[in-house]
Structure 1
Amino acid sequence: MTTKMTSRKILAPQRTGPCLCLRKNFKRIIISSVVFVTMVTLIILSSTDRIPKLTWQTTSASDRSCLSVTQRRMLAESIMEVQRNIAFLAGTNSTVDSKWAMQLESIASQLDLRLRSRQHQSALLPDMEPKNKQGNGLSHVCHEVYFGRKYDKPFNQHGMEIQKCDYAPPLSDVITVILPAQRWSNQRIKKVLTKLCNLYRVPVIVLAHSSTTFTTSLPNVQVALIESDTGDGKALNSIISTVGTPFTMIGHSLVTFSNQSSIERLVRVIDDLPHVQVATGAFRDEEGHWSHGCLQQKMLNYRAKFKYGYYYSKYECMYCDMSLGPFVTTTDLLRRVKFRENLTGTILYVDWFTRVRNAGVLGMACPDVMFFVKTTTDLTKQDWGTYAKAWELQTITDHHGVTFQYQCGEVGLTCESPFDIIGSFLLPPCCLEIVTKEIEFLVDFLEENNMEYELRDGTVLGATKFGSYLPWDFDVDIFINCKDKDKLLREGEKYVRTKNCTLEIKKSYYFVVHCKYFFYEFMCHNEISNRFLPKEYQSHPTSIYYSGRWIKVIANPGLFSRNNIGFNDLRHAQHWRHLVKNKNAEDRGAYKNPGSWKPCSRPGFHACLDQYPGDGNLPFVEL
């Protein structure tokens, strides 16, 4: 069976198995479930009543009832992503992320093409009457009409045309333009102002260095002098408090202004799509390099990664997590999510977009709007370092694929008191590196001295789940054969001192190596577990690939973990010392509710344990 796919699809999944043909009733049940989940989410979290609309790829008209295996898997993953986000927030007073509603509606539109026909378009057709009322009040700008693809052949510089109307206020009452020009030359300031004011009669505020000699007699232009020791963020926050219009444009990095930089278009996008509060355009630098400027961001486990591109679109604009060019936003949002006062330059805006996205607000980049900027932004390791410190990140991969690494001390992280850290957070990578090297250091000693040993308890649980140290543990459990105890105590004490560690004898069979941050518990037994292996394998103890090398563990680590932890041992929970003991939990094993986390002490922080699913190891390593 073959299926005709339309040329406009964003994705073109290949057939990897039989086509699943869904009956109409079953499809409608799925759609009803998606809508129900959306409504329940909004009711439970009760933060907003604005539900975004978006379309995604659908099957062609000739194949409406069939979904390929690839498409089904994509839909399932999208639903599960929303489900995971809802699951750990359900029952709390939290922010509804606009992206969830957008994803759910896009899933519904894939299952029923009729939903697509109900979506509003970005412009009217010539025979359509405008609707000047929006869900959030009057339109702030006049509507556009699309006159067709032949309207301005062959260059198509026109087609979507703004119409005159009597319902929109003057643009001067709608938007204020702020130009952060502290490091601009007088000539550049003059050029941008002249071009801008020739096109738009709107209030403009120029942030200029206090030593500037620039003056202007242009109407509606205010020059605010900024001292050299005042950060860009602090200067912007101060001046935004004086803005009297509902929208603000931050015109950073501009070198000129033209009629291709349509302010009305960006205001209209925010007007028409209530879940969108930031709109930007493409940008072109002085070398002629063009970029749509739409970036996606993911921040997890002390790492951040930026990708150039988009997953969703509407109104011929891309949904973005951030952009590196000039942008329009609501003045209210700028006052609610302030710029970080100690940051300066482009990284200031990267940081602001990150906090806007964390607040559940969406932005869009409309590539038909083109700004002219000084240079295409390439941030250095030093630039990213200020961002890494602000967000406590050890690794940043930028949108060019370049990765920057930072040490714990450079970004304000510490490995002091691992036990306190794991109450809410994953251990930072630098701490995992320390404990891994110390495990290797001790294992080297044991193996060089032909001592029988094996990892046990929580350490073998980490080895089973992750092939590494469990990132919410704080000690290490090692069992040895008691016949090697005297040698370990005699030779081991001198050995561990070379790493500034100490060896303490707790009991005749129990001793502890204390290092700077972590400690290592040794228990001796008259036998170790290799006796449970078939006789022919007892001389070859079981090893597991652990952080890049083979290390000996209990004979059957999976069986040990299942019997030691009990039900659902592969699911996750905080270290047992951070949980209240419960008789029911003890009867069932080690944990009452495996697969769930305690609420984080810093809600929303990227290293919070409750940011992760309670099951699976890949979410902790993928980004």
Structure 2
Amino acid sequence: MGRPCAGQSLAVPLKSTKDDARQVNRGKTVVVLWSVVGAAVLTTLWTLASTANYPTDPRIKQAATRPSKEPCLSQDMRRRLAASLTRLQRDIKSQPGMSEQGGRWWRELGKVAAQLDPRLHRETLRPATLVCPEHYDGTKFIVERCTGTPPLAKLVSVVVPARGWHPSRVSQVVRGLNTGHNLTIILILSNDDPPPDTNKSVLVLRYDDTVSDGKALHEALANVNTSFVFLGDSLAYFSWQHSSLQRLLRVLDRLGGEGVAGGSYRDEQGQWRHGCLQRSLTNYHATFLSGYQHSAQECMYCDDVLGPVLTSTRLLQHVPFSHALSGPALYRDWHTRVTQAGYLTLACPDVMFFLQEEPIMDTTDWKIYATQWSLQSVHSYDDEQYSFTCSEVGIRCSDLRKKITWYLVPPCCREAIMGGITILDNFAQEKGLSYELHHGSLLGAVKLGAFLPWDFDQDIYYNCKDRRTWETLDDFLKTKNTGCHMRMSTARQLVLQCTTFFVDMVCRKPLTGHTLPLPYRNVTTWVEYGKRRVSVMANPGNAIRDQIGPENLRHAQHWRVPGRPDPGAWRPCQTPATQSCLDHHPADGSLTFSHPPVCLP
């Protein structure tokens, strides 16, 4: 951009060095601003069209209360777009002598970024009305004296899931919660647990082991008559000095009264953590990372909070706990659905809860979560990796042709489909035969180095002169107990038919190796395809350009999908909340289709 501006300055009469510098800077500013505005306009039109009726601002709950059937962008993609617009905002503001028009563009970009990612909202937070405000006196935060705010007991109830807790722990938590405040406490106990040792009245609900944690919580919440609920999961002690529910209530109040607010935690061994997690669900993989990207009110915006939380009763009615789940997977599932419903979650590190032990999930816990969300792998917040088979998490590989209309093929199903190429490659090596991937399979090899996750079959060419030998593949299949068989389709086409997939085998005379320069013809071109060495057409990149046509590197759904859009776009997903939706992924590029996905900042 500097070169054209310099050229323009040479075309005008010479001025002082300062004038030249100012003109160059103005030129740079104009070019940058117009580039920014063009990008912003295009991004806005595409994004807002794609996110119609999809709630992102937690204060607009009339939209959030009805299920959205409109196409939407995934949370990850919205956040990436918002981050890009925020960077452009910074570029505009950094330009010297920004004009009034530039300031308007800067503000508009902020509004668009906030629509995409409400954690970036620039508007002034509303004053607290439910609890007294606070101010910073230069050394610490001071809660101001005020009148007109209701007693905390009129605003907040407490639900403590305490089945199996030691009686002294239960009594200690209840006494701590009731110190100075007459809160309604609903205690969930097992049938065999003794009553808590406390002078305060506590509503005790008892359930045997056949009732899930989620169902017990749901029934307990039906007894709540306040606008907010504190969920005291995992507590070992409660201290109002360190665990200020008023502080969390003030945070939610200033955001509009909706959302989830949690705090940090300290376990009995003294370890402290802020408990704020970021989460990504994509391509049958979940990543949980400890940390934050944005903050407000000295609190971290999170996708998940590991410790106890304060939330609104209305949110719990809109996003109830799953009746089928128990243990820590119940809370990971709930937080996932809270985020997808458009609510904000914050963790305030100054509010410290006392837990018995750090909340850690093992393989069993993650398997429950993975089954709930059809995931095959999880990168946990404690940096552990977990992998699950199709059968372990209830994924079936049947009817893939229907699945690819909206969704990615699961990795385990892709691996099963790759079994066909392995069979053919083993047979070809044993018989001294040649073959080449072509069309959809070759396209996947070139673009992704793997099977296209929106395809359902494989495609190879074999040399027509070798047809009789290839027809003996059926005997090979029987000896290897593959469960597959050969099918004669046409005079030129054979089909390797298996339970969940098939391979189309079309004869070509000759294969393309003869087009290579003479010194290279004795070695077939091959690629790494799903971590296998597989033969391809002589010049695979040129072959797919001719076979597929213009924009072949942009992604397009299978030609059998009805109403498929042109390359570079996906058909709107049938169920937008599903992590495997094709339209949650870019329609160009390869990194997000790796497994686990590679996400660049």
Q: Same fold (TM over 0.5)?
A: yes
- Preserved CA contact (<8 Å) 1:269 1:276: no
Q: Find out whether 1:242 has 2:223 as its counterpart.
A: yes
In structure 2, C-alpha distance between the alignment counterparts of 1:419 and 1:245, rounded to whole Å: 50
3-state SS, counterpart of residue 169 of structure 1 = coil
- Structure 2 match to 1:287: 269
- Residue 48 to residue 456, structure 1, CA distance change in 2 (3 Å): closer
- Residue 21 to residue 352, structure 1, CA distance change in 2 (3 Å): farther
User: 1:86-485 counterparts in 2 under 5 A?
Assistant: 92=70, 103=83, 106-107=86-87, 110-111=90-91, 112=93, 139-149=129-139, 159-215=140-196, 218-219=199-200, 221-258=202-239, 259-274=241-256, 277-485=259-467
Shift of 1:531: 2.3
In structure 2, C-alpha distance between the alignment counterparts of 1:360 and 1:168, rounded to whole Å: 28
- Preserved CA contact (<8 Å) 1:95 1:360: no
Shift of 1:253: 0.5
- Structure 2 match to 1:533: 516
3-state SS, counterpart of residue 280 of structure 2 = strand
3-state SS, counterpart of residue 386 of structure 1 = helix
In structure 1, C-alpha distance between the alignment counterparts of 2:382 and 2:221, rounded to whole Å: 32
- Residue 217 to residue 289, structure 1, CA distance change in 2 (3 Å): closer
In structure 2, C-alpha distance between the alignment counterparts of 1:618 and 1:276, rounded to whole Å: 36
- Residue 102 to residue 329, structure 1, CA distance change in 2 (3 Å): farther
- Structure 2 match to 1:547: 530
Q: Which amino acid aligns with 2:513?
A: N
Give RMSD over aligned pairs: 3.1
Aligned-pair identity in percent equals 35
Question: Per-residue displacement from partner, 1:270-305 (whole Å, max 9, x unpaired)?
Answer: 111249611110000011111100111111111111
Q: Which amino acid aligns with 1:576?
A: W
In structure 2, C-alpha distance between the alignment counterparts of 1:545 and 1:102, rounded to whole Å: 35
In structure 2, C-alpha distance between the alignment counterparts of 1:592 and 1:393, rounded to whole Å: 27
Choose which of 578, 582, 587 in structure 2 pairs with 1:605. Answer: 578
Question: Per-residue displacement from partner, 1:128-182 (whole Å, max 9, x unpaired)?
Answer: xxxxxx9779611111121223xxxxxxxxx112121113221111111111111
Choose which of 500, 503, 508 in structure 1 pairs with 2:483. Answer: 500
In structure 2, C-alpha distance between the alignment counterparts of 1:535 and 1:375, rounded to whole Å: 69
Question: Per-residue displacement from partner, 1:301-350 (whole Å, max 9, x unpaired)?
Answer: 11111111111112111111101100111111111001011211222111
Q: Which amino acid aligns with 1:411?
A: V
| Higher normalized contact order (CA 8 Å, seq sep 6+, divided by chain length) | 2
Shift of 1:412: 0.7
In structure 1, C-alpha distance between the alignment counterparts of 2:509 and 2:171, rounded to whole Å: 85
Q: Which amino acid aligns with 1:378?
A: I
Shift of 1:506: 2.1
- Preserved CA contact (<8 Å) 2:128 2:250: no
- Preserved CA contact (<8 Å) 1:177 1:205: yes
In structure 1, C-alpha distance between the alignment counterparts of 2:360 and 2:318, rounded to whole Å: 29
Question: Per-residue displacement from partner, 1:340-379 (whole Å, max 9, x unpaired)?
Answer: 1121122211110011111122211111110000100221
3-state SS, counterpart of residue 306 of structure 1 = strand
Question: Per-residue displacement from partner, 1:433-476 (whole Å, max 9, x unpaired)?
Answer: 11223312211211232112111111111111111111111111
Q: Which runs of 5+ in 1 are unaligned?
A: 1-19, 53-89, 120-133, 150-158, 581-590
- Residue 326 to residue 606, structure 1, CA distance change in 2 (3 Å): same
Q: Which amino acid aligns with 1:557?
A: P
- Structure 1 match to 2:592: 619
3-state SS, counterpart of residue 234 of structure 1 = helix
Shift of 1:478: 1.3
In structure 1, C-alpha distance between the alignment counterparts of 2:560 and 2:411, rounded to whole Å: 22
After superposing the two structures, state which structure 1 stretch, 390-399 or 481-490, moved more.
Answer: 481-490
In structure 1, C-alpha distance between the alignment counterparts of 2:557 and 2:548, rounded to whole Å: 13
3-state SS, counterpart of residue 307 of structure 1 = strand
- Preserved CA contact (<8 Å) 1:233 1:342: yes
In structure 2, C-alpha distance between the alignment counterparts of 1:253 and 1:37, rounded to whole Å: 47
User: 1:59-74 counterparts in 2 under 5 A?
Assistant: none
- Preserved CA contact (<8 Å) 2:437 2:459: yes
Shift of 1:534: 2.3
Q: Find out whether 1:512 has 2:495 as its counterpart.
A: yes
In structure 2, C-alpha distance between the alignment counterparts of 1:235 and 1:601, rounded to whole Å: 32
In structure 2, C-alpha distance between the alignment counterparts of 1:511 and 1:189, rounded to whole Å: 70
- Residue 33 to residue 310, structure 1, CA distance change in 2 (3 Å): farther
Q: Which amino acid aligns with 1:334?
A: L
Choose which of 569, 591, 596 in structure 2 pairs with 1:596. Answer: 569
3-state SS, counterpart of residue 434 of structure 1 = helix
Choose which of 552, 555, 559 in structure 2 pairs with 1:576. Answer: 559
- Preserved CA contact (<8 Å) 1:280 1:327: yes
Q: Which amino acid aligns with 1:224?
A: L
Q: Which amino acid aligns with 2:589?
A: G
3-state SS, counterpart of residue 473 of structure 1 = coil
Shift of 1:502: 0.7
In structure 1, C-alpha distance between the alignment counterparts of 2:447 and 2:81, rounded to whole Å: 33
- Residue 394 to residue 557, structure 1, CA distance change in 2 (3 Å): same
Shift of 1:528: 1.1
Q: Which runs of 5+ in 2 are unaligned?
A: 1-23, 60-67, 95-102, 111-123
